[in-house]
A and B are shown apart, each in its own frame.
Chain A
Amino acid sequence: MSSKNTVLWEKTKSFLLKNTMVIALVLVYLFFVARSEGRMFLPQNINNLIMQNSYVVILAVGMLLCILTGGNIDLSVGATVCLVGAIAGVLMVNLGWNIYLVMVLCLLVGIAIGVWQGFWIAYVRIPPFIVTLAGMLLFRGLAQAILGGLTISGFSEEYLAIFNNYVNIPALDGGAIKYSSIIFGVICCAIFIVSAIWSNITKKRKGYNAEKPASLYTKIILLCSIVMLLMYKLSKYKGIPYILLWLIGIVAIYTYITAKTTFGRHFYALGGNEKATKLSGINTNRIYFMAYVNVSFLSALAALVVAARFTSANPAAGTNYELDAIGSCFIGGASAYGGIGKVSGVVVGAVLMGVLNLGMNIIGVDSNFQKVVKGLVLLVAVIFDVVSKRRAVKSFV
């Protein structure tokens, strides 16, 4: 092989390795599109994909911060979702309290749960697995006690609208095609293009390694076409669901926190080497504490979303949600030893899980067998991650 070809091959290989999960996601998606005779690609199903997986994304982002601290997981998120949902149901439906007041109270309950668990984990150093396993039983039990084993339904329309409605601007969205979503897509793309080019220019001006134009433009074109395709599909259904805006907001905030703030950096440092982090003057106990406060806070938010989506609070809500969240993180490239993982990766992981669920439902795979497939995907994803990293390390030395 000539050296030019080798270089090209090395580049392709590193690109493939870096974006394995994105490529896997695209392939899996195309597979289901083909097997479902295109139904997977219908606007309604794309809308369902977003609606069904919103809670997974929220929980997975919270779980990521826990995993970053050293592969620690939170088993109690599903139970927290159930407990907070139950409180919301009792206060809003049974007692008829103001919905916004109740939402704030629910988030505060989430924080309180996080403080409770975080205290034991960070300051008393009880292993997270045990604290959150206890929490899983504790909060589920409390939720069932509050609900008395019954389902509360009848949330007000006003509340449901916050999460379940669609953007509807009468002037734009009167017809069959909701133009607001296309306009929103164009604005997103414009912001992305301008910021990407702008940051590249500043990098060049300050004399840092700027991205090569070819790879920059490919990235821009790829991302913009995905966004526009998604928005086009949504425009043919009911437009942009509110929940998508919530998700974009949450993902944007946490991407920023993990990538750009000292607070976020401390999580990666802690997971990479706790002793070195402590000796660098960083309060490691506080980081553990914040990880668990945060995951419970996001669980409470997910609980509000889930209650709205099912229009009820029931004693079985949130069952196995922790497993979806943990799975999304590991499929999305988070290291099981901590210190490695990105919010964007976790979103890809969550969407991949969602695509599998939806796709298998559409083509009618037996629900028992669905679990087998999901289990295997999780295992294969982590095996691939570990093995490819081991190769990379070996080939360097």
Chain B
Amino acid sequence: MSDHILEMRHITKEFPGVKALDDVSLEVRRGEIHALVGENGAGKSTLMNVLSGIYPFGSYSGEIVYDGKVCHFQKIRDSEKSGIVIIHQELALVPYLSIAENMFLGNERGSAVNIDWNETYAKADELLAIVGLKESSHTLIKDLGIGKQQLVEIAKALSKNVKLLILDEPTASLNESDSMKLLNLLKDFKNHGVTSIIISHKLNEIAYVADQITIIRDGTVIETLDMAEQQVDEARIIRGMVGRELTNRFPARVPHVQDEVVLEVENWSVQHTLYSDRTVVDDVSFKLKKGEVVGIAGLMGAGRTEFAMSIFGKSYGNSIRGTLKIHGKEVALSNEREAIKHGLAYVTEDRKGNGLILTNPIRVNTTLARLDKVSHRHVIDLDLEHKVAVAMKEKLGVKSPTVEQDVGNLSGGNQQKVLLAKWMFAEPDIMILDEPTRGIDVGAKYEIYCIINDLVAAGKSVVMISSEMPEVLGMCDRIYVMSQGKIVGEMDAKSATQERIMSSILSVNKGA
């Protein structure tokens, strides 16, 4: 059992002021699937960056033994040559090149001055067959969904004769069935002798696929669990990650639902922004009461984000039709400013792309949606702004030394909190949270759930769009299920189950 493909010994990596990794040792057996788990900022990605040569030899202390040899990787190319391939969370494919061109980018078939396209496409098709992707290798990446792109990345790794495959949150943006496919593929690889290291926040998937689990917390290894030797369930992993027993992943909820309907949408239809013959939201009717948390469940691409954004001052879509009533009065919100004025807030699913200004400090991001609250006659009171930003930071528990820290330097969970702070500062009556816990760790998730509960306790209403069904079930009073642009089910949270939600999604698919 001591055939280790990889041993990382006493790795310590420091950044100015922070010890990101502190004497970390990791042993990976040949041909296993090894999971790395830990809260955001625990040091998982740093460890993998050390391994793959992103942080060159010499910038850390400790030793890497790979395939029986001590390795001194200076750059990614060095590690790839010896068969270590890392697939990052953000996919690195060129949208306007074909699958095959992407697969052999930087590793072209033929010679540098004479690329052998026949071999390129033939080899690409071969690899696509292995990963089970039924697409021509001539297809452009931009025409593929995110799940298929993930498979292309894996095929690309295979083209480099991978022996050790590292996947950083491979299923973060995949739906359940695509995730399942991917995990089974990894198991398949295992049988062909490829070792994998998988970093993930989705504990059920890890429990399903991993042979060993290493838990990292605050830059140190807490423990390594061997799935063959002991029964490991999600609660056991969570305990290791957060250092405490999270008996309940959702805070206790007291219903605050009142009778008043604050938001009512009737017969709402929206066309796609670019292809106006495509209907993305189809005749949706929707109600939200005061003090209520309403969930919108569904798979990715069901039209939930488009629906939310079209309500929020028509920030998405073409030829929007239907009526929108806020507090019983029909309103026409023609832009985001109007929406904010009417007490709406939309907290985006894409915090980096649509939510935050990464190059600006926490202070600026906090007040951006309501600068008028900290200014008199368009002149900003910088002292007051500083004060409210500090107050929001402390209220939400953002971990950062000052509010002058640029948001781009914060971890995902803290960025999400700044985004929430920004919209809570706008004091809306109705908050639409789009995937509020995507890509953040269990501890931060719990804190965000608490914030949601506080909001409804204060008489606000919340719409929560989420692809994680346990979260929808655990946090909402009422659930709408959306599929292919339509509302296909509405259920009370008490009577709802994952199975019921899934079956109403599938019922539409069968029909269509």
Contacts and interface: CB of A to CB of B under 8 A. Distances in A.
A125 interface: no
B32 interface: no
Interface in B366-391: 368-369, 371-372, 375, 378-380, 382-383, 386-387
A202 B381 CA distance: 13
A182 B382 CA distance: 33
Interface stretch (B169-177, B347-355, B493-501): B347-355
Given A273-B358, A281-B335, 13 more contacts: A209-B402, A262-B371, A265-B368, A272-B359, A277-B357, A279-B312, A281-B337, A339-B357, A340-B359, A396-B15, A396-B16, A396-B409, A397-B15
Given A208-B383, A262-B380, A276 B15 contact: no
A208 B389 CA distance: 12
A281 B339 contact: yes
Contacts of A367: none
A268 interface: yes
A390 interface: no
Nearest to B315: A279
A279 B355 contact: yes
Contacts, number: 95
Contact of A281 (B340, B360, B383): B340
A184 to B, nearest CB: 27
A295 B46 CA distance: 45
B372 A262 contact: yes
Contacts of A340: 359
A277 B357 CA distance: 8
15 contacts: A208-B387, A260-B380, A261-B375, A262-B372, A265-B380, A272-B357, A273-B353, A276-B348, A278-B336, A279-B336, A280-B368, A281-B341, A283-B337, A397-B20, A397-B46
Interface residues of A, number: 31
Residue among A10, A202, A265, A268 with the highest chain B CB neighbour number at 10 A: A265
Interface string B214-232: 0000000000000000000
B364 interface: yes
A253 B375 CA distance: 18
Interface residues of B, number: 40
A163 to B, nearest CB: 30
Contacts of B380: 260-262, 265
A208 B386 contact: yes
Given A260-B379, A396-B15, A273 B356 contact: yes
Chain A interface secondary structure, helix, strand, loop or mixed? helix
Interface in B133-147: none
Given A261-B379, A279-B336, A281-B336, A269 B360 contact: yes
Interface string A257-301: 000111101101100110111111111000000000000000000
B346 interface: yes
A395 interface: yes
A202 B372 CA distance: 22
Residue among A202, A275, A281, A339 with the highest chain B CB neighbour number at 10 A: A281
Contacts of B20: 397
B354 A275 contact: yes
B368 A277 contact: yes
A339 B355 contact: no
A397 B48 CA distance: 14
A272 B360 contact: yes
B368 A395 contact: no
A268 to B, nearest CB: 7
A276 B355 contact: yes
Nearest to B402: A209
A393 B407 CA distance: 12
B356 A276 contact: yes
Residue among B15, B358, B360 with the highest chain A CB neighbour number at 10 A: B360
A206 B388 CA distance: 13
Interface in A333-363: 339-340
Contact of B359 (A260, A266, A339): A339
A203 interface: yes
A10 B312 CA distance: 46
Contacts of B339: 281
